[in-house]
């Protein structure tokens, strides 16, 4: 027994000596290799919901690859990362150089695929300066739907941080880039957290040391009715495809449509075509997806509802009629003779038709140009422009989307500035029927019609109903522009309403709208386009009595408004008025 004990003692002593003397340096280096690192924990962005609580944008966990602060990366490591992630080495080298000289980790790629995660984990020993972490990733649950309202997110750049808007954020932080994601970024973003951990030489976490939990962002409840939003998208896409396939409008790829409640200004649907999928931008847009967007000549990223500027076409006859009637330049009963051309200029109706003796109601319902040339002449360009300004043309509506265009109210000064030419009677004629230099956006046209529907009160359009906490309680109701009343006689508005109702009755340019369940009011419009086929407008509100929905639609290069946009507005109103959308909502 003594011999056995002695042998065991010798073996243990030898092992201890080997560990201390021979392997001591090795384990010492391993221990020295353990190090502390600090990592940012991104806060989940707040949800974005429609008016009924349907979630349109949310956050869910996804893997993110980051380069640790203060680490230098060799060319071999950069090349390996580029190969594993299918990225350009130059892009990774730029991020690696930034990581070497900063105190914050630098994100290389978000939304990693399972294959990418597996490949990176297999090479952790070759890439000790990287880390894989779960972070909240933005997801747009319905892809392209409402993309121009929601916008998208992306990494904040060093330049943007220097400009001061994102003070306190580190490069690579995720911020809103377009749409409501951009406008309400500070609300949606929340507050980032931080964790400190000890990792070994392979970058594996040995233990968590300390941390500060992130605070989730606030949510947005929008005015959008998502059932109406999707219906408007579906019908508009179907109509544009039909226009192209029929050969009527082979270039009908661009369009804009917006629906709002005239009694409040709440926007119920907003569609711009062509669209895009905001999910493409989460984690960095791929070269293939960027090529699809960048090479599309119809500009998918442009929100045509607020940035598309077009001649108003005959929808502008609302303004001309308001000016002439309100200034008592014509009575609604006065008969004016339409011989097919105006007697003071060689300008007539689009199809050369002659309607004979007509009053305001007939002229408006049949969209007679000769009659409205005379209305423009009597009112004068100054009054036309003053009433256009009253309806909100020539300036942004104030909707909560960045970069809204102002449009243009044309007049002698504008023509002199642009063309260095004097204003003529023909220019006034063109302005009176919505052609020439005056330009409007679809949201401005919708606001104009909504003002008529609301008995002469402008309720500026808005998209955000309320800001909510994570538990759904109201945090804040955003301030909105004040409503205002048009400075015209109530009788003037009533006459315009009567004219709009006449458009959708037998004899009007939108007579087929009489087939809807209840009477509606509307107006056709064709906007001249020097770069291709004309643009087609249709605007309407429903019901004609006590309206609660206004729709404005334009199809670029769609030709006549009645055939291009009319079918879109008709089908959407039919779905709305028959209760189909309520059933879909349930």
CA-wise closest residue to 487 among 323, 273, 242 = 323
**Higher per-residue confidence, 12 vs 345:** 345
**Higher per-residue confidence, 100 vs 27:** 100
Q: Which helix (H) or strand (E) holds 108?
A: strand 106-109
Domain boundaries, the chain: 226-464+481-585
Q: C-alpha dihedral over 214, 218, 224, 228, to 10 degrees?
A: 40
Q: Decide the pairing of beta strands 130-140 and 106-109.
A: unpaired
Supply φ then ψ for residue 324, to 5 degrees: -70, -40
Give how far Cα 290 sits from Cα of 284, 286, 300, Å: 10, 6, 11
**What's the confidence (pLDDT) of residue 268?**
98
**What's the confidence (pLDDT) of residue 32?**
47
Which DSSP string corresponds to 19-83?
IIIISHHHHHHHHHH-EEEEEEEPPPPPPEE-TT--EEEEEEEEEEEEEPTT----HHHHHHHHH
CA-CA distance, 555 to 566, in Å (whole number)?
10
Residue 224 CA to its chain's centroid (Å): 12
Burial state string for 48-86 with b = 16 or more CB within 10 A and e = fewer than 16: bbbbeebebbbbeebbbbbbbbebebeeebbebbbebbe
Cis peptide before 540 (omega within 30 of 0): no
Q: 3-class DSSP state for residue 65?
A: strand
**Higher per-residue confidence, 233 vs 17:** 233
Crossing angle (nearest 10°) for helices 490-503 and 442-453? 110
The answer, as to whether pTM is greater than 0.75, is yes
**Least confidently predicted of 93-102, 194-203, 375-384:** 194-203
Query: Are the C-beta atoms of 553 and 568 separated by less than 8 Å?
Result: yes
Query: Are the C-beta atoms of 409 and 437 separated by less than 8 Å?
Result: no
CA-CA distance, 193 to 40, in Å (whole number)?
6
**Least confidently predicted of 63-77, 248-262, 273-287:** 63-77
The CATH code for residues 226-464+481-585 is 3.40.710.10
Query: Are the C-beta atoms of 225 and 51 separated by less than 8 Å?
Result: yes
Q: What is the mean pLDDT of the chain?
A: 89
**Higher per-residue confidence, 341 vs 169:** 341
Query: Are the C-beta atoms of 468 and 477 separated by less than 8 Å?
Result: no
Instruction: Report residue 256's pLDDT band, with 50, 70 and 90 as the boundaries.
Output: very high
Residue 297 neighbours by CB distance under 10 Å = 8
CA-CA distance, 418 to 423, in Å (whole number)?
12
**Least confidently predicted of 135-144, 188-197, 572-581:** 188-197
> Cα Rg for the chain, rounded, in angstroms?
32
CA-CA distance, 377 to 409, in Å (whole number)?
17
Mean pLDDT within 289-316: 96
Supply φ then ψ for residue 184, to 5 degrees: -105, 30
- What would the two tokens of residue 284 be? 């960095």
CA-CA distance, 409 to 439, in Å (whole number)?
7
Q: Where are the beta strands (DSSP E) in 384-477?
A: 457-458, 464-468, 474-476
CA-wise closest residue to 184 among 458, 507, 475 = 475
Placement of tokens 């990366």 in the chain: 73
Highest mean pLDDT among 5-9, 68-72, 263-267, 281-285: 263-267
CA-wise closest residue to 310 among 564, 574, 96 = 564
Query: Are the C-beta atoms of 235 and 580 separated by less than 8 Å?
Result: no
**Least confidently predicted of 134-138, 265-269, 362-366:** 134-138
- What would the two tokens of residue 14 be? 């030898």
Express each pLDDT in 509-568 by its tens digit: 999 999 999 999 999 999 999 999 999 999 999 999 999 999 999 999 999 999 999 999
CA-CA distance, 276 to 282, in Å (whole number)?
13
Instruction: Report residue 209's pLDDT band, with 50, 70 and 90 as the boundaries.
Output: low
**For 283, which DSSP code?**
T
CA angle 259, 260, 265 (to 5 degrees): 155
Express each pLDDT in 132-156 by its tens digit: 878 889 999 999 999 999 999 998 8
Mean pLDDT within 479-507: 96
Residue 376 CA to its chain's centroid (Å): 36
Supply φ then ψ for residue 470, to 5 degrees: -60, -30
Express each pLDDT in 444-476 by its tens digit: 999 999 999 999 999 999 999 999 999 999 999
pLDDT greater than 90 at residue 243: yes
CA-CA distance, 249 to 244, in Å (whole number)?
5
Instruction: Report residue 284's pLDDT band, with 50, 70 and 90 as the boundaries.
Output: confident
Express each pLDDT in 394-430 by its tens digit: 999 999 999 999 999 989 998 998 899 999 999 999 9
Q: Decide the pairing of beta strands 549-555 and 255-260.
A: antiparallel
pLDDT greater than 50 at residue 379: yes
**What's the confidence (pLDDT) of residue 15?**
53
**For 20, which DSSP code?**
I
The percent of residues above 90 in pLDDT, for the chain, comes to 66
Residue 357 CA to its chain's centroid (Å): 47
Q: 3-class DSSP state for residue 458?
A: strand
pLDDT greater than 90 at residue 18: no
């Amino acid at each position: 027994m003594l011999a056995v004990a002695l042998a065991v003692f010798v073996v243990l002593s030898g092992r201890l000596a080997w560990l201390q003397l021979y392997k001591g340096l090795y384990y010492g280096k391993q221990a020295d290799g353990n190090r502390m690192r600090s990592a940012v924990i991104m806060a989940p962005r707040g949800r974005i919901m429609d008016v009924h609580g349907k979630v349109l944008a949310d956050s869910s966990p996804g893997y993110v690859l980051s380069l640790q602060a203060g680490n230098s990366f060799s060319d071999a490591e950069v090349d390996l990362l580029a190969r594993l992630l299918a990225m350009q080495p130059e892009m990774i080298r730029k991020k690696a150089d930034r990581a070497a000289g900063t105190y914050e980790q630098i994100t290389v790629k978000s939304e990693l695929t399972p294959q990418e995660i597996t490949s990176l984990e297999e090479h952790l020993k070759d890439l000790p300066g990287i880390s894989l972490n779960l972070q909240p990733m933005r997801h747009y649950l319905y892809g392209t739907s409402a993309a121009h309202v929601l916008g998208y997110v992306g990494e904040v750049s060093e330049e943007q941080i220097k400009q001061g808007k994102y003070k306190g954020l580190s490069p690579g932080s995720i911020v809103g880039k377009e749409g409501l994601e951009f406008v309400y970024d500070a609300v949606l973003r929340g507050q980032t957290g931080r964790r400190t951990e000890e990792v070994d030489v392979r970058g594996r976490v040995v233990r968590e040391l300390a941390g500060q939990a992130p605070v989730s962002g606030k949510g947005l409840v929008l005015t959008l009715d998502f059932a109406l939003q999707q219906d408007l998208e579906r019908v508009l896409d179907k109509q544009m495809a039909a226009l192209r396939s029929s050969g009527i409008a082979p270039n009908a790829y661009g369009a804009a449509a917006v629906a709002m409640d005239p009694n409040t200004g709440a926007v119920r649907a907003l569609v711009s075509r062509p669209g895009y999928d905001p999910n493409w931008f989460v984690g960095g847009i791929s070269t293939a997806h960027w090529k699809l967007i960048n090479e599309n000549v119809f500009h998918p990223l442009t929100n045509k509802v607020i940035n598309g500027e077009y001649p108003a076409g005959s929808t502008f006859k609302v303004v001309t009629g308001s000016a002439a009637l309100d200034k008592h330049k014509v009575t609604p009963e006065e008969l004016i003779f339409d011989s097919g051309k105006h007697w003071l200029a060689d300008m007539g109706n689009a199809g050369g038709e002659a309607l004979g003796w007509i009053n305001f109601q007939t002229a408006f319902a049949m969209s007679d140009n000769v009659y409205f040339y005379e209305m423009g002449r009597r009112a004068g360009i100054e009054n036309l422009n003053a009433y256009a300004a009253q309806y909100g043309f020539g300036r942004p509506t104030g909707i909560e989307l960045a970069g809204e265009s102002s449009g243009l109210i044309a007049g002698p000064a504008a023509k002199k500035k642009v063309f260095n030419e004097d204003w003529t009677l023909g220019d006034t004629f063109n302005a009176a029927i919505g052609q020439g230099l005056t330009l409007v956006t679809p949201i401005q046209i919708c606001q104009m019609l909504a003002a008529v529907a609301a008995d002469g009160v402008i309720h500026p359009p808005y998209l955000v109903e309320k800001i909510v906490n994570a538990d759904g309680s109201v945090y804040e109701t955003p301030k909105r522009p004040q409503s205002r009343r048009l400075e015209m006689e109530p009788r003037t508005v009533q006459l315009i309403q009567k004219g709009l109702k006449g458009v959708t009755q037998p004899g009007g340019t939108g007579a087929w709208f009489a087939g809807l369940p209840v009477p509606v009011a509307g107006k056709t419009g064709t906007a001249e386009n020097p770069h291709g086929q004309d643009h087609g407008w249709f605007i309407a509100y429903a019901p004609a009595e006590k309206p609660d929905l206004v729709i404005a639609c334009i199809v670029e290069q769609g030709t006549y408004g009645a055939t291009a946009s009319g079918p879109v507005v008709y089908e959407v109103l039919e779905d709305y008025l028959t209760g189909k959308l309520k059933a879909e909502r349930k």
